[in-house]
A and B are shown apart, each in its own frame.
Chain A
Amino acid sequence: HSYSNRYAGDKVIRIVPKNDVEAQELKNLYRQLQVDLWHPSSISSIWTDTLTDVHVSRNSSQVLLTYLRNANVQHEILVDNIQKVLEKQSVSRAPRNRR
Chain B
Amino acid sequence: SLSRYNYEVYHSLDEIESWMHYMNHTHPHLISMFSVGKSYEGKPLHVLKLGKNGTKKKAIWIDCGIHAREWIGPAFCQWFVKEAVSAYNRDPSMKKILSIFYIYVMPVFNVDGYHYSWTTDRFWRKTRSKNRRYNCHGVDANRNWKVKFSEEGASLNPCDDTYCGPYAESEPEVKAVAQFIYKQRKHIKAYLSFHAYAQMLLYPYSYQYDAIPNYHCVESAAYDAVNAIRSAYGVRYQHGPASSTLYMSSGSSMDWAYNIGIPYAFAFELRDTGYYGFLLPESLIKPTCTETMLAVTKIAMHLLKKC
Q: A63 in the interface, Cβ–Cβ < 8 Å?
A: no
| A55 & B123 in contact (Cβ 8 Å cutoff) | yes
- Stretch in B21-29, B153-161, B168-176, B182-190 touching the partner: B153-161
Q: Which residues of B contact A93 (CB under 8 A)?
A: 9-10
Q: Which residues of A contact B10 (CB under 8 A)?
A: 89, 93
| B153 & A78 in contact (Cβ 8 Å cutoff) | no
| B248 & A39 in contact (Cβ 8 Å cutoff) | no
Interface residues on A, range: 20 to 34
Q: Which of B24-83 contact A (CB under 8 A)?
A: none
Knowing A7-B122, A42-B160, A55-B123, the reply to whether A78 touches B6 (Cβ < 8 A) is no
Q: B282 in the interface, Cβ–Cβ < 8 Å?
A: yes
Shortest A10–chain B CB gap in Å is: 9
Interface residues on B, range: 20 to 34
Knowing A79-B279, A85-B279, A86-B279, the reply to whether A42 touches B162 (Cβ < 8 A) is yes
Q: Which residues of B contact A12 (CB under 8 A)?
A: 277
Q: Which residues of A contact B120 (CB under 8 A)?
A: 3
Q: Which residues of A contact B (CB under 8 A)?
A: 3, 7, 12, 14, 36-42, 44-45, 51, 53, 55, 78-79, 82, 85-86, 88-89, 92-93, 96
Q: Which residues of B contact A (CB under 8 A)?
A: 6, 9-10, 120-123, 125, 140, 152-155, 160-162, 197-198, 246-249, 274-279, 281-282
